[in-house]
Copies of this chain bind each other. A is one copy, B any other.
Amino acid sequence: MKDPITIKDIARELNISPSTVSRALKNNPQISKATIEQVQALAERLDYRPNTIAQSLRQSRTFTIGVIVPEIAHHFFADAISGIEDIAYKAGYNVIVCQSNESYEREVVNTKTLLSSKVDGILVSVSKQTSQTEHFNVLKRREVPLVFFDRVCEEIEASKVIFDDYEAAFATVEHLIEMGYKRIAHIGGPAPLLLSQLRHSGYVAALKKHGLPVVEEWTIQQGFNIEDGKEAALQLLADPANRPDAIFGVNDLVAIGAMLEIKKAGLHIPNEIGVAGFCDEPIAEVIEPALTSFVQPSFEIGRTAARLLINQIESPDNFEPKTELISDHLKVRASTLRNR
């Protein structure tokens, strides 16, 4: 790689000192209009790029924020990242994205990498395997600003952006009940995640409120992918005598996996089995019948998380952890609109 232009090159060329160049490039008001123009013109001509590495080392500030998500291939996270970038770029920060691939070990490595990269703060949505939290405590001890979003870690004192999973699950199940479904099952997320627990509680609470049975075998804790939904559905459909008449999935992919198995079994959606999901990913509109799903404003969640983090980075003194509770609405589609 070619030797890049530095501030020294510009200084030499103009017979001024590097410090003046540095100031001129930053439009420092103490520098004369003339020099500022000269310097900036030459910088432009030589296509000078500041070495952010050197700036970071000098200022002990990287203007970079790290993001750890389970998988960017999940639409929710891809959108959330775009939301994070939106706020970050506008505030002059870059974003480094790491995937934990839902692995606890990988997540620990990610935090170490980001620590070494000296990011100014970290946004995390924890992996489904994460039950230990020592790696987050390390961040706390180093006083690295830290904000959790969507999949949070309760034990750690930090700002959090969470979705109102309990209420949303409650509303979704209540909708199923209003549509006349009475034997409602739940394909839940991985047990360690708070989000799984809350969605499950909301489901149970709605059933109880309406005097419907809470059948233990009708809750199946699984992962977050289509395959997980398929497996769970197979179990739920196994015994025709004790079969649910509706399924509430922890997310859209799981709900869609269930739909595929239901259709394969020759059962009608929504007349014989209703299905509802969570997230409202694009795929929910495409599958047939279209999937009823609780909308999660992923882009906004990302923006909110980034805003909290940047505030914390920029005014660390009067910092108090804040928890933002986000909600949205249920998007009702054909998968729960049965004919009675």
User: Chain A residues in contact with chain B, CB under 8 A?
Assistant: 1-2, 4, 47, 49-54, 56-57, 62, 71-73, 75, 78-79, 81-82, 85, 94, 96-97, 99, 101, 112-113, 115-118, 120, 138, 141-145, 226, 256, 260, 282-283, 286-288, 316
Query: How far apart sit A286 and B282, CA to CA, in the bound complex (Å)?
Result: 12
For A118, the closest partner residue in chain B by CB is B53
Assess the A73–B82 pair: CB atoms within 8 A.
yes
Query: How far apart sit A2 and B288, CA to CA, in the bound complex (Å)?
Result: 54
- For A283, list chain B residues within 8 Å (CB): 283, 286
Q: How far is the CB of A72 from chain B (nearest CB, A)?
A: 5
Of B71, B85, B316, the contact of A99 (CB 8 Å cutoff): B85
Assess the B117–A53 pair: CB atoms within 8 A.
yes
Assess the A142–B226 pair: CB atoms within 8 A.
no
- For A79, list chain B residues within 8 Å (CB): 73
Given the contacts A1-B143, A143-B1, A143-B2, A52 and B286 also touching, CB distance less than 8 Å: no
For A256, the closest partner residue in chain B by CB is B286
For A96, the closest partner residue in chain B by CB is B96
Assess the A141–B2 pair: CB atoms within 8 A.
yes
Query: How far apart sit A32 and B172, CA to CA, in the bound complex (Å)?
Result: 66
Q: How far is the CB of A285 from chain B (nearest CB, A)?
A: 8
Given the contacts A73-B79, A282-B226, A288-B288, A142 and B4 also touching, CB distance less than 8 Å: yes
Further 19 A-B residue pairs, CB within 8 A, beyond A1-B120, A53-B117, A72-B82: A1-B144, A2-B141, A2-B143, A47-B138, A49-B116, A52-B116, A53-B56, A53-B62, A57-B57, A72-B78, A72-B81, A73-B75, A73-B82, A78-B78, A82-B101, A96-B96, A97-B97, A226-B286, A256-B286
Query: How far apart sit A94 and B78, CA to CA, in the bound complex (Å)?
Result: 19
Query: How far apart sit A79 and B72, CA to CA, in the bound complex (Å)?
Result: 8
- For A141, list chain B residues within 8 Å (CB): 2
Assess the A94–B72 pair: CB atoms within 8 A.
no
- For A78, list chain B residues within 8 Å (CB): 71-73, 78
| Highest count of chain B CB atoms <10 Å: which of A1, A50, A138, A287 | A1
Contact sample, A vs B, 9 pairs, CB 8 Å cutoff: A1-B145, A53-B57, A72-B78, A73-B79, A73-B82, A78-B78, A97-B97, A286-B286, A287-B288
- For A1, list chain B residues within 8 Å (CB): 120, 142-145, 316
- For A288, list chain B residues within 8 Å (CB): 287-288
Query: How far apart sit A73 and B97, CA to CA, in the bound complex (Å)?
Result: 14
- For A81, list chain B residues within 8 Å (CB): 72
Of B54, B94, B115, B120, the contact of A57 (CB 8 Å cutoff): B54
Query: How far apart sit A108 and B286, CA to CA, in the bound complex (Å)?
Result: 34
- For A82, list chain B residues within 8 Å (CB): 72-73, 99, 101
- For A62, list chain B residues within 8 Å (CB): 53
Assess the B94–A117 pair: CB atoms within 8 A.
yes
- For A144, list chain B residues within 8 Å (CB): 1
Query: How far apart sit A163 and B115, CA to CA, in the bound complex (Å)?
Result: 37
Query: How far apart sit A82 and B99, CA to CA, in the bound complex (Å)?
Result: 8
Q: How far is the CB of A106 from chain B (nearest CB, A)?
A: 9
Assess the B94–A113 pair: CB atoms within 8 A.
yes
Query: How far apart sit A316 and B115, CA to CA, in the bound complex (Å)?
Result: 30
Query: How far apart sit A1 and B287, CA to CA, in the bound complex (Å)?
Result: 48
